[in-house]
Amino acid sequence: MRIGLAFICLLDLSFRFSDIGALYSDDGLWPTRVMYNLGWQPGFWSIHALSGSAKWSLFLFILHGLAAISLLLGYRSRLATLLVLVLYISLHNRNLFVLQAGDDLLRLTLFWGLFLNWGSCYSLDSKRSGRMYPSPVPAGFAYLLLMASVYFFTALLKDDKEWHSEGSALYYALSLEQMRLPFGDLIYSHANLLKILTHVVYGVELLLPFLILWPSQKGLSRLMAVVLIVVLHLSIGLCLYVGLFFLISMVSALGMLPAKVFDQLESRFTFLKPNLGSPKLNLNLKFKHLIIFSLIALCLLINFSSLSWFPYQAGEGLRFTTNVLRINQYWGMFSPGILKKDGWMVYHGYDSLGRQWDLRRNADYVDYTKPKRIVSLYKSDRWRKLAENMQNEKFTFLRHLYAGHCLKRWNLEHPEKPIKTLYLYFMEQETLPDYQKTTVNKVLYAISTAP
């Protein structure tokens, strides 16, 4: 799991790398002057925000990548885990509106990795010490509880009829052309299959917490859980554009594989098998156990607070603590119901002489018709998630910032045909039952003018 998560971190950083200036600097759409006023919560912090320079973010990206490589090799594993986690918290807080549930899962798995002895095997650390120490029982339980919470609470939050009586949740999910991939096209037209799969997905999410937490010496129930998680998220990743979420979910589950899987590997490669050590139960370890159990209780309170029927909420002090540690979490994937609004953006520009230009197509005719594949309009899942947040009436401030960034970038890249004014439109459709959609509604998101 340590090795897999380190690969995920490197892959994630490589995807974000080309957007350092656009998403993580003052030259982009989310400058530090607005960051603290929109979406920021007490307790949040960000090293990336110490400077608005893209060079500063680049330096932190390089440091982040080196820490991830150290985690991959298992060199100074605990320190490497801490560095990767700290830099991820900072990066996530720098731009909250390009995040998704996979980012939370990655961050929380790294958090509990601080307490796991995941650097004591298959690592340079184990080669140096020659001994493997098992993880403290409370730390292992905290990790299992994290994995169980993801599926337990997402199932409880799915209280809409689409997931129950109607069984239409997957139909609506795959109706989102801003997310649907070619494999999703293959099953989208089969209404009965989608209804069956909706109930299967919901049933699997209810079953997984029990398989994960079921006490079993041979670990067969957790092996079954890993298989189900891989099948579930691989299917999601093939059908819907969810970025690295499906990979993070599968890799985070590797820690549940039974030990006998690795015993067979070690029997063939004896150099991988270090001597077992047994840490002494001293006062420091007891104190660590107390911290772990306190954090477990806090995480459970956070998750239960997300349920409408739960009568208690975390107080201001606890919320501040969770924000500092960034262990706040909400597993509301496609819940309580599915987003119905779908559509695509049109970038209608005018130059100083009043001539129009389509900034997306780089053409003098502005095309408002639906693109052949809407999902292909997004450079990465970060931009798709940003576009999804712009559709939310709570985040309308993102529209003007995005339009201003698009206009500025266009004029920098095309000095031969500068645009004076940009009209950003969203061509909105709403999904109806039985493969029907409303007529396209042309919504003006923002007007941006070049200085």
Within a domain: 361: yes
Number of other CB atoms surrounding residue 236 within 10 Å: 18
Per residue in 163-219, pLDDT (tens digit) is 999 999 999 999 999 999 999 999 999 999 999 999 999 999 999 999 999 988 788
- pLDDT tier, 272 (very low <50, low <70, confident <90, very high otherwise): very low
In a domain, 240, yes or no: yes
Residues 169 and 252 in one domain: yes
- Asked if the structure places residue 51 within a domain, the reply is no
Model confidence, pTM: 0.93
User: pLDDT (tens digit, 9 = 90+) per residue, 104-152?
Assistant: 999 999 999 999 999 988 899 888 876 666 777 899 999 999 999 999 9
**320 shares its domain with 347:** no
74 in a structural domain = no
Same domain, 321 and 285: yes
CA–CA separation, 89 and 324 (whole Å): 9
Considering the domain boundaries, does residue 305 fall inside one? yes
Looking at the structure, tell me whether residues 245 and 353 fall in a common domain. Answer: no
The stretch 47-54 carries a mean pLDDT of 96
pLDDT at 289: 87
* Cβ neighbours around 165 below 10 Å, total: 8
DSSP per residue, 344-376: EEEEEEE-TTS-EEETTTTBSS---SPPS-GGG
Residues 318 and 185 reside in one and the same domain: yes
Same domain, 292 and 372: no
Task: Judge if 288 and 389 occupy the same domain.
Answer: no
Could you read off the pLDDT of 56-74 as tens digits, one per residue?
999 999 999 999 999 999 9
pLDDT above 60 for 447: yes
Residue 263 is predicted with a pLDDT of: 64
Average pLDDT, the chain: 92
The pLDDT of residue 281 is: 45
Q: Which residue has the tokens 């009043």?
A: 354
| Residues 28-40, mean pLDDT to the nearest whole number | 94
Among 293, 325, 357, the domain boundary falls at: 325
Residue 77, in any domain of the structure: no
User: By the 8 A CB rule, do 110 and 81 touch?
Assistant: yes
Task: Looking at the structure, tell me whether residues 258 and 366 fall in a common domain.
Answer: no
Same domain for 380 and 318, yes or no, is: no
- What mean pLDDT comes out for the span 213-235? 93
Amino acid occupying residue 245: F
Residue 383 lies in a domain: yes
Which of 278, 300, 325 is a domain's end point? 325
User: Residue 211's Cα: distance from chain center in Å?
Assistant: 24
Using the predicted structure, report yes or no on whether residue 282 has a pLDDT greater than 70. no
SS3 readout for 249-306: HHHHHHHHCCHHHHHHHHHHCHHHCCEECCCCCCHHHHHHHHHHHHHHHHHHHHHHHC
What total of structural domains would you count in the chain?
A: 2
Q: Is residue 335 part of a domain?
A: no
Are 295 and 359 found together in one domain? no
Kindly state whether residues 234 and 377 are assigned to the same domain.
no
Confidence at residue 120, expressed as pLDDT on a 0 to 100 scale: 85
Q: Which pLDDT does position 22 carry in this prediction?
A: 96
Query: Are 288 and 150 found together in one domain?
Result: yes
Type and span of the H or E element at 445 = strand 441-449
At 301-326, the pLDDT tens digits run 999 999 989 998 888 889 999 999 99
Which candidate, 372, 349, 344, places its Cα nearest to that of 421? 349
- Reported as a single tens digit per residue, the pLDDT across 245-260 is 999 999 999 999 987 7
pLDDT at res. 262:
65
State the residue for tokens 């439109």.
425
Contact 178, 426 (CB under 8 A): no
At 271 the pLDDT is: 47
Domain of 362, in residue numbers: 341-449
Among the three residues 265, 293, 325, which one is the final residue of a domain in this structure? 325
